[in-house]
Amino acid sequence: MKTNFQSPQQFFRQRRLRLGIVLAILLVIYGVSMVLVNFQTLASLMQVPAGLIWLFKNFIPTERSISYLGPILYQLWRTLIVAVSSTICASLLGLILAILGAKTTSPLPGLRLVIRFGASLLRNIPVVAWAMILLFSFKQSDFTGFLALFFMTLGYLTRAFTETIEDLDGEKLQALQAVGANYFQCVFCGVLPEVASTLTSWVLYMIENNLRDATLVGILTGTGVGFLFNHYFKSFRYDAAGLIVLLIAVLVICLELTSTQIRRAIA
């Protein structure tokens, strides 16, 4: 940082100017976005409390909604299962790709670039696009949701796993090589045990995330609890929709708490 200010006033003037410019840019961005989206800030913010009140009035499950409990729980279970299995399958493939693609363990340098590029491609296509692309070929089935989540998760986890493996201390690998271990022994006895708990916490995080995304995918592909929500919601059975929201929240929070516990236990 340069220290050649003539006076404190000059220093503070420059600082204020810089802050002013940043704030002005943010305001302009906000204003332009508001116009582009056609959003009325004040009017909408005023409606928020009313919205919440409406929500509490209509979305509270009543006795009548208990009758929907059966199908809801079933679909919730299906959604959870799709979220878990897509994450696990993606993590297995992701692990293999990460080992092949990480700087420290890659057998071929050329492979690294291909895997990096592929992972970045998979990651950056929104899950919505995946769902819509797959919907055409795989129709309205759990499999569509499974594949959509699978591809996106594969992109994320390959990158996360690669970075985790690359963070590993290179000397530990050299120690194993010095004992005369071959490539597979190095990977399975040296690398994997070291990174296992970090990788598992990434997997747990992705499961949480995918449960939420699975709802969205469900709305688009007509499966799982997302479809059920959409169905009740569009037929004005708000109490049942509210029950779904509540159950999803409970499930996500339980999952979060469990995985926090697991993370602490395996750390």
Give Cβ neighbours of residue 87 (< 8 Å, ≥ 6 apart): 149, 153, 157, 203, 206, 207, 210
**Which member of 47, 62, 174, 235 binds other proteins (CB under 8 A)?**
47
Instruction: Centre a 10 Å sphere on the Cβ of residue 118 and count the other Cβ atoms it contains.
Output: 15
Binding flag, residue 126, other proteins (CB under 8 A): yes
How far is Cα 125 from Cα 55, in angstroms, rounded to an integer?
33
- Least Å distance, CB 73 to other proteins, is 16
Q: What angle do CA 18, 19, 21 make, to 5 degrees?
A: 65
**Which member of 119, 219, 228, 243 binds other proteins (CB under 8 A)?**
219
How far is Cα 171 from Cα 191, in angstroms, rounded to an integer?
11
Binding flag, residue 229, other proteins (CB under 8 A): yes
- Least Å distance, CB 60 to other proteins, is 13
Binding flag, residue 235, other proteins (CB under 8 A): no
Stretch (H or E) spanning 24: helix 8-37
Burial of 182-219, coded b for 16+ CB within 10 Å and e otherwise, reads eeeebbeebbeebbeebbbbbbbbbbbbbbebbbebbb
How far is Cα 206 from Cα 90, in angstroms, rounded to an integer?
10
**Which member of 25, 29, 69, 108 binds other proteins (CB under 8 A)?**
29
- Least Å distance, CB 14 to other proteins, is 10
**Which member of 23, 24, 34, 96 binds other proteins (CB under 8 A)?**
34
- Least Å distance, CB 58 to other proteins, is 8
Of 60-68, 94-102, 104-112, 241-249, the window that binds other proteins (rule: CB under 8 A) is: 241-249
Of 63-71, 101-109, 134-142, 159-167, the window that binds other proteins (rule: CB under 8 A) is: 134-142
**Which member of 51, 108, 113, 117 binds other proteins (CB under 8 A)?**
51
Backbone torsion region of residue 126, taken as left when φ is above 0, otherwise alpha when ψ lies between -120 and 50, otherwise beta: beta
Of 66-74, 75-83, 94-102, 107-115, the window that binds other proteins (rule: CB under 8 A) is: 75-83
Spatial CA neighbour of 153 closest among 84, 223, 81: 84
How far is Cα 141 from Cα 15, in angstroms, rounded to an integer?
58
What residues from 135 to 164 belong to the interface with other proteins (CB under 8 A)? Answer: 135-143, 146
- Least Å distance, CB 30 to other proteins, is 5
Binding flag, residue 88, other proteins (CB under 8 A): yes
- Least Å distance, CB 193 to other proteins, is 5
Residues 150, 86 contacting (CB under 8 angstroms): yes
Q: What track of x and - describes contact with other proteins for positions 187 through 206 (by CB under 8 A)?
A: -xxx--xx-xx--x--x---
Q: Which is nearer to other proteins, 157 or 203 (CB)?
A: 203
